[in-house]
């Protein structure tokens, strides 16, 4: 019997590119797609499309999902958004009884990823997150702490405990600089004076915050395939262009990165396929900035490089560990746009 998988949050051109790569790469597997918004012509990119309920409608979403699992005999669900991953983790046993596995760890672990304070706290306790950071609970505390910290270092980064996609991140510099916008205006860099006089207002209603030392870019995206706390495969991609929209550099195997990822996988006892964002400290050591409870939208670049992550994920779901081959990258490889298969 042919395997059947369902991948969710597949909207937009990025989703079409990913769906098409899956359909072409997973021979003998039916690839179904889903999104809360209707996606025109998605039937050309997958074996079937389902318009899913909004995750805010918890019971309706799960009820509809169970119906799809039973009707299409789905064997593996790959959530494409944080909200879906967290919701599915709550109902993982119910989905399994309907006939499908879900590529996520348990709910109590996923909750930590959503809260950067809990994530950083556990990583710090396990000596994996070895930089300055602290939790800020109010605007008055932020004013005091930022003045104190910037008397000893050049810059800090401010971001909400609950955020994603680089939203509401501010780099505060001790020196006078012209305000700069990055990442489609989701991130800004400002002087201490401008932040305290003006930009601190953007965090009204968004406390608690994290204040941490500024790390060196560009960011690295890491695809992590693991099982019960053991790393099976990871692909490290250095971004070209601010978000990697114009391509990614897929690095050759780097022992420093791989050993660091092994510690993260062991710390959270990870299984399945995840996305991790890294930057570098002053000594050029990798430092985690975010661990996402789902695949990365930029995973398409790894697939373009010929790394069969979804084929490996399917084998993992069937516990065929010995059939997963290593994908060593002998030299740095530049992969162009996410969207080259649909343009």
Q: What mean pLDDT do residues 172-182 have?
A: 87
**Which residue from 333, 330, 335, 334 is spatially nearest to 253, judged by alpha carbons?**
330
- How large is the greatest C-alpha to C-alpha distance in the chain, in angstroms? 65
Q: Which residue has the higher pLDDT, 227 or 330?
A: 227
Write out pLDDT tens, residues 274-308: 999 999 999 999 999 999 989 987 888 888 888 99
Write out pLDDT tens, residues 199-246: 999 999 999 999 999 999 888 999 999 999 999 999 998 887 655 445
82 neighbors 65 (Cβ within 8 angstroms): no
Cβ contacts of 200 within 8 Å, gap of 6 or more = 139, 142, 143
Q: What is the pLDDT at residue 322? A: 86
- 231 in helix, strand or coil? strand
pLDDT of 79 higher than 50: yes
pLDDT of 155 higher than 50: yes
Phi/psi for 244 (5° steps) reads 75, 15
User: Across all residues in the chain, what is the average pLDDT?
Assistant: 89
pTM as predicted: 0.91
Q: ∠227-116-245 over CA atoms, to 5°?
A: 75
Q: Which range among 57-66, 149-158, 173-182, 204-213 shows the weakest confidence by mean pLDDT? A: 173-182
What separation in angstroms does the CA of 41 have from each of 13, 38, 51?
A: 11, 9, 13
What structural domains and CATH numbers belong to the chain? 3-104 (3.40.50.20), 110-127+216-335 (3.30.470.20), 133-213 (no CATH)
230 neighbors 207 (Cβ within 8 angstroms): no
Write out pLDDT tens, residues 99-139: 999 999 999 898 888 889 999 999 999 999 999 999 999 99
Q: Which two tokens stand for residue 226?
A: 């693991």
304 neighbors 335 (Cβ within 8 angstroms): yes
């Amino acid at each position: 019997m042919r395997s059947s998988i369902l991948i969710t949050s597949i909207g937009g051109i990025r989703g079409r590119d990913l769906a098409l790569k899956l359909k072409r790469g997973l021979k003998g597997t039916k690839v179904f797609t889903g999104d809360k918004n209707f996606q025109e012509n998605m039937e050309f990119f997958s074996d079937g499309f389902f318009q899913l309920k909004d995750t805010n409608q918890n019971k309706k979403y799960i009820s509809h999902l169970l119906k799809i699992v039973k009707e299409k005999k789905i064997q593996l669900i790959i959530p494409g958004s944080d909200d879906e991953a967290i919701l599915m983790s709550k109902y993982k046993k119910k989905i399994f009884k309907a006939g499908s596995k879900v590529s996520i760890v348990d709910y109590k672990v996923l909750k930590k990823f959503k809260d950067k304070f809990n994530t950083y706290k556990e990583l710090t306790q396990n000596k994996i997150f070895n930089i300055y950071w602290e939790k800020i609970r109010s605007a008055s505390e932020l004013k005091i702490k930022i003045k104190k910290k910037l008397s000893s270092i050049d810059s800090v980064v401010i971001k909400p405990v609950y955020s994603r996609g680089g939203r509401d991140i501010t780099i505060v510099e001790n020196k006078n600089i012209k305000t700069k916008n990055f990442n489609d205006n989701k991130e800004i860099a400002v002087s201490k004076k401008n932040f305290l006089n003006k930009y601190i207002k953007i965090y009204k209603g968004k406390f608690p915050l994290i204040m941490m030392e500024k790390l060196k870019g560009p960011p690295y995206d890491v695809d992590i395939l693991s099982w019960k706390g053991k790393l099976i495969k990871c692909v490290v991609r250095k971004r070209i262009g601010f978000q990697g929209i114009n391509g990614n550099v897929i690095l050759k195997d780097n022992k420093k990165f791989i050993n660091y990822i092994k510690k993260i996988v062991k710390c959270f006892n990870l299984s399945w396929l995840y996305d991790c964002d890294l930057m570098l400290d002053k000594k050029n050591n990798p430092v985690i900035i975010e661990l996402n409870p789902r695949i990365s939208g930029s995973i398409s670049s790894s697939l373009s490089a010929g790394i069969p992550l979804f084929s490996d994920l399917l084998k993992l779901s069937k516990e065929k560990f010995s059939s997963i081959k290593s994908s060593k990258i002998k030299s740095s490889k530049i992969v162009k746009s996410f969207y080259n298969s649909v343009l």
